[in-house]
Structure formats: structure tokens, C-alpha cells
Chains A and B, each alone.
Chain A
Amino acid sequence: MSDMTANPDEQRLAPERRAVGALGDRIFHGVTAASALLVLALIAGIAVSLVIGAWPALAKFGFGFLTSSQWNPVTDDFGALVAIFGTLVSSALAMAIAVPVSFGIALFVTELSPVWLRRPISTAIELLAAIPSIIYGMWGLFVFAPFLSDNVQPWLNDAFGDLPILGYLFSGPPIGIGVFTAGLVLAIMVIPFITAVMRDTFEVVPPVLKESSYALGATTWEVVRSVILPYTKTGVIGGIMLGLGRALGETMAVTFVIGNAHNIPNGLFYPGNSIAATLANEFTEASGGMYTSALIALGLVLFVITLIVLVLARLLLLQLSNQEGR
């Protein structure tokens, strides 16, 4: 197809111009290809250096590194379970809150909001996305944690603390610092990202599709479910994955509020630890080869978790497009 469109252009061009253009094309192709390959080389380089750095720890602890909740720099006994648990649970909590809220914001802004309100909301979301994560961390520690500790956690403790499953979610010392707070702060941090992506994809749905459905008598919800979501599912899932990736890797904000304790929390209000927070806290001061190696191994685990998340997202999209073909 590109040949067909290129030919008439070439005929109009003078021969020397065409030669320069062809050379330029080749250079351009080379430069862009090199840039793209650089990314692959970087990924491979990071993976290799992580594996090399983590090797002493992986060789010593083996698979047990993933399942041990020990983290003892004195006896050089390390396991990643506490950090993996904290990372996954805080991110899951963040996504459970952020995805519905973001979806609501994006839908309201693109479909339901009065026109004059759209720009202020959109601008506010973009501003939220631009705030550095350390600001969220400081706000979480100095404003949000005391608020949770004084007003929210005691109440949640009383109301739900004795129930079987909800009890786990809402139990622990009401000190405002712990996995629960980390999840909430993460949710606030990723909402602007997910919302921005969702809003942009909702906006590109051709009006003619929506108008046709409305003309057929569809309600707003039916248009959202049957027209907008199928049309934009790649973008929506992409936005969610972007937010999840950010939540998994978020360092400073989590370090401030998660409590940095290497113990499996007995409830979400208990302090815990995440992979990124452990690295931020301990890497500069880690003395001894095994300690450093265990920290690099933690980095490798985070790398693999992120990879798995991306692969799952791809598989999900693949399955969705297969269903479409039916």
C-alpha cells in the first residue's frame, strides 16, 4: 500500500531530490531502528546485571528466598515474602479503589459533565499527575496518617474488626501508618494516570457510533457498556496497567507511610514493607556482600512481577480480541 501512495510523489520529484530522500530514509530508518534496539539492549542489560548481582543470594537461598519471611542482616538470613506481600497487597488495594473511581471520573468528564466543567476537572487531574511522589509521601505522613489514626481507623476497627474476612482488612493498631495507608495513598497517586488515559480513549470514540445507539433508544449506561467500552478496551486496560505498574514500583510515597517493618502484617493496619521501600531504605547502608545481593535479588523479583503483569495484560487483550472475532 505504501508503494501505491509513494509512486505519484516520486514522479513529481526531481531525480537528485529523490536520491537524497532515499538516503535520508535509510538514515532515518537506521536511527529509529537503533533507538528501538537500544531499549531491548537496556532491558537485557538490566536483567543480566540484576541476575549477576542477585546470584550469591539466589544460590544460597534458592526458591526459599521467595517463601521465607526472614529478613535478618545480623545472621545474613534473607527472604522476600514480606516485601512481596506488602507490594502486592498495597497495589491491589490501590487498584481496587483507583479503577472504579478513575472510570467514573473519565466517564463523567467525557459523557455526562456540562461542558463548562470539563476543562477544570481535566486540568485538575493533569495537575495531580504532575505532583512528585515525595509530596504524596509527606502529605500521607503528616496529614493523612494522623487523620486516619484519629478519625477513621478506630471507627473501622470497632465496626468491622471482629468480622471474619473484613476483620483482616480493618484490624491492627490505629497508628495511621501501615499497609492500609500505603494502599490509599497509592490509590490517590494512580487515579490521575488511569483517569487521563481513560478520558483520552473515551474521547476518540466516533460520535456517530454513540449517536446511532442513542437514536436506537439506548440509555447512557447501555451506550457506555455496549459501544464505548468495547471500542476503547485496549486503552482502558492500558491505563489500568500503567497505574498498576506505577503502584508496584512506587518508592518514596510508600516508604513514608507503609511502616518499613519486616513482618507479615496481621491486618492491613499493621506496618509492613514493600520491595521498593526496602530498597530505598536499606541499599545505601547495606554492608556485606550477602545483604547487598539479597537487596538486588529483591529488585529482580520486582522486575519479574512487573513483567508478569505486562504479560497478563497482553494475554487479556488477546483474549478480548479473540472474543471479538466470534
Chain B
Amino acid sequence: MRLSFSKTLITAVAALSIWGSASAAVDQINGAGATFPYPVYSKWAQAYQKKTGVRFNYQAIGSGGGIKQIEAKTVDFGASDAPLKKDELDKYGLLQFPMVMGGVVPVVHLKGIQPGKLRLDGKTLAEIYAGKITKWNAPAIKKLNPNLNLPNTDITVVHRSDGSGTTWNFTSYLTKVSEMWAKGPGHAKAVAWPTGVGGKGNQGVASYVNRIKNSIGYVEYAYALQNKMTYVSLKNKAGNFVQPTAANFQAAAANADWANAPGFYVVLTDQPGAKSWPITAATYILMYKKPQHPKTAQAVLKFFDWAYENGDKMAADLDYVPMPDSAVKLVHDKWHSQIKGDNGQPLWPVQQ
């Protein structure tokens, strides 16, 4: 990733030169939160520890848990898939910035249907999840899939049983594309599901869909790939049927107007663009603007700076989408202008 912003370049050089001395002061940083980015965070942590000796300890307890923990000040940073609104950030004096992006993907268990072959649009997906479409050969589904041989069987809906950032983004999409869903269950980390069974975590939903014949669920893209699941092709805002791929997540992410989003509050569902995957999501980091331990906060910032700089390939290997350079530049600006030490001096870039 090439950064034109001179301050960041200087920062990177400065950070490199003082790694040795800083790691002596802070050798462990603690965070907790979303399960979605856990695979990429732990991969980054391994590489970072090898390089600097700083241990990055991340507990994947879920987005809600991450927010609770940072508000209780038991961790150095929190992580959430659902961004906090600006007023809640201000209430606790938190800064929020996006770290990496990915996609939420509907998956099905249907005999004889190849990944990406089944086509759905938002309205149909919402009606399936609302329990209004109950058979796989319902006219609405057949109309979208004239060439598929769909069985005359009941659909078993699988959703999350725990509150989750994945659900937050999934219901964000359903709320945008279906008036019925917006008036009914709505948009939240946990909603009152009208039908179906609940699995705990992405893994729980994946294993239910794998076990239950004729079921449909939604998981983060990485889980769909790891479990070799039959994902669905979705109709996006431009009216095209798109496949869940890193390139299509990137296309949706490119629409994000990070510069004009207060607190980086950006929802990437149902974005315009010919290739945009309609349920794309960013995952966020939460930190205090006036941290209790400025030295630890600097160590956290250095880790994330390193991840922005060197973590793209590792993220892409795990099917996440790295943040674009322009957004990283904005994040660095925010670090500089918002995160302050005890006497009000900016903690970023890290001074020797």
C-alpha cells in the first residue's frame, strides 16, 4: 500500500526505528470483540509478534461483548462489526475506525445445486426469512431461477441465536430492500426472528445449514468457503446478479464515503455499482480518545498501522478486503487529531 501522505511516511520510519525500545515498555496489548475479523487479526498478531515481540491478545467474544469491554475499560481496544453511532461514541469518548472489510453471504443446503447457481433478490430473501415463502419451489423463487430444478420441500431458515454484527449487516440489507422486513423484525444485532432455528456464531449457523436439508442461512464469506457451502448469487441495487467474491466486496466498498462519515459510520449494504455485492460490511476498532495508558495506546496504534501497511496480503488470503489507501489516510488523520495524551499532545505519530 503506497501512502502519499508525508506524515504517515515519517511515522512509519519513526515507528520502525523505535520498535525495539517500545517493545520493552509495552509487550502486550489486549483487545476483545467481533468474531468476524478474528481469523485475520490472529494471523496479523502472529506475524507481528514474530517481528516485534509484542503480543497481541484478542478475545473473539462478539461485537456486543467488545463494546461492553471497552466501555468498562478492561481492554486496550474493542472491536465491533456494527459501527457505533456518533452520539454513543461521544458519550464514552471513543474513537472508531474501520480495519478491514468482508461480505455476508446467504448459503443454502439444496441437493444438486452448485455454489452460486441459485439466484435470489432482496425481497425474496426477506420473505423467506419472514416465513412468508415456505417452499423452495414457490413462484417467487422459480421466477428468479427458471433453469433450476427446485424441490417441493419446506425451507428451514437458520439465523444467529446470539447478538451479532453479521446479523446487524444482514438485517440492514433486508431492511433496505423490503418494506415488510423494515416494518416487522427490523435492523439490529439481534431481532425477533419470525421463524427458523438459531445457531451460535458463524460456525453454528454453518454447521446447522450443513446438517439440515433444504435450509438457508447467512455467514461471513470466509466461513462459507472454509465449509465448502453452497452460496447464493444475489441481485444488487444495479439489478445485476453478482457472486460473492473479494472483487465484488471491493466494488461495494469503493462506494463508501469515508471522508464524510462522522465517526466513520458507514453501512456498506445495498450499495450502487454494477458489481457491488449487496451485503458488504466493514469491521471496526474502538479506542479511547484520552487513553488511561498512553504508552499502551501507542503500542495499539503501532500494531494497526503495521496491519494497514503490511497486512493486506494476509487479509486477502483469508478473503477479507483491505481498506483502501484513501481511507487509511483518513484514519491516520483522525488518530493524530483525536487521540491525545495526558497533557493534550497527540499520541500519533509516535514520538521517540
Contacts and interface: CB of A to CB of B under 8 A. Distances in A.
B182 to A, nearest CB: 11
Most buried by A among B156, B207, B212: B212
B64 interface: yes
Contact of A282 (B68, B185, B190): B190
Nearest to A72: B192
Contact of A149 (B67, B162, B189, B212): B212
Interface in A171-198: 173, 175-178
Contacts of A73: 163, 188-192
A281 interface: yes
A286 B185 CA distance: 17
B211 A177 contact: yes
Nearest to B155: A173
B62 interface: yes
A176 B156 CA distance: 11
A184 B63 CA distance: 34
A127 interface: no
Contact of A260 (B163, B200, B211, B212): B200
B164 interface: yes
A286 B211 contact: no
Contacts of A202: none
Interface in B185-230: 185-200, 207-208, 211-213, 215
A170 interface: no
Most buried by A among B187, B188, B198, B208: B198
A176 B197 CA distance: 11
Given A72-B191, A177-B212, A282-B161, A259 B207 contact: no
Interface stretch (A22-30, A90-98, A138-146): A138-146
A175 B200 CA distance: 17
Nearest to B190: A73
B65 interface: yes
B61 interface: yes
Interface in A153-180: 173, 175-178
A173 B155 CA distance: 10
A175 B67 contact: no
A287 B192 contact: no
B200 A177 contact: no
Contacts of A146: 211
A263 interface: yes
A35 B213 CA distance: 54
Contacts of A53: none
A259 B198 contact: yes
A261 B189 contact: no
A285 B162 contact: yes
Interface in B166-193: 185-193
B207 A141 contact: yes
B27 interface: no
The DSSP consensus for interface residues of chain A is loop
A287 B163 contact: yes
B154 interface: yes
A246 B161 CA distance: 23
B78 to A, nearest CB: 12
Given A177-B208, A177-B212, A281 B64 contact: no
A271 interface: yes
A51 to B, nearest CB: 22
B199 A260 contact: yes
The DSSP consensus for interface residues of chain B is loop
Interface string A42-72: 0000000000000000000000000000111
A199 interface: no
A280 B207 CA distance: 18
Contact of A74 (B68, B192, B196): B192
B140 to A, nearest CB: 20
B163 A173 contact: no
Contacts of B64: 284-287
Contacts of A178: 197
Interface in A230-246: none
A142 B213 CA distance: 13
B31 to A, nearest CB: 15
Given A74-B185, A177-B212, A287-B64, A281 B191 contact: no
B193 A176 contact: no
A175 B188 CA distance: 27
B200 A284 contact: no
A73 B164 CA distance: 12
Interface string A282-304: 10111100000000000000000
Given A73-B190, A74-B186, A259-B197, A281 B212 contact: no
Nearest to A145: B211
B238 to A, nearest CB: 30
B191 A175 contact: no
A61 to B, nearest CB: 15
A154 B345 CA distance: 70
A286 B208 contact: no
A176 B212 contact: yes
Contact of B196 (A71, A261, A273, A287): A261
A150 to B, nearest CB: 9
A149 B200 CA distance: 20
Contacts of A282: 161-163, 190
Contacts of B211: 141-142, 145-146, 149, 176-177
Nearest to B156: A175
7 contacts: A173-B154, A175-B156, A177-B211, A260-B161, A271-B198, A282-B190, A287-B67
Interface of A: 70-75, 141-142, 145-146, 149, 173, 175-178, 255, 259-263, 271, 273, 277, 280-282, 284-287
Interface of B: 61-65, 67-68, 154, 156, 161-164, 185-200, 207-208, 211-213, 215
A-B pairs with the 6 shortest C-beta distances? A285-B163, A260-B198, A260-B161, A285-B64, A72-B192, A259-B197
Given A176-B212, A263-B195, A286-B64, 20 more contacts: A72-B192, A73-B188, A74-B186, A74-B187, A74-B190, A141-B207, A173-B154, A175-B212, A261-B193, A271-B197, A273-B198, A277-B161, A284-B162, A285-B62, A285-B64, A285-B164, A285-B189, A285-B190, A286-B190, A287-B64
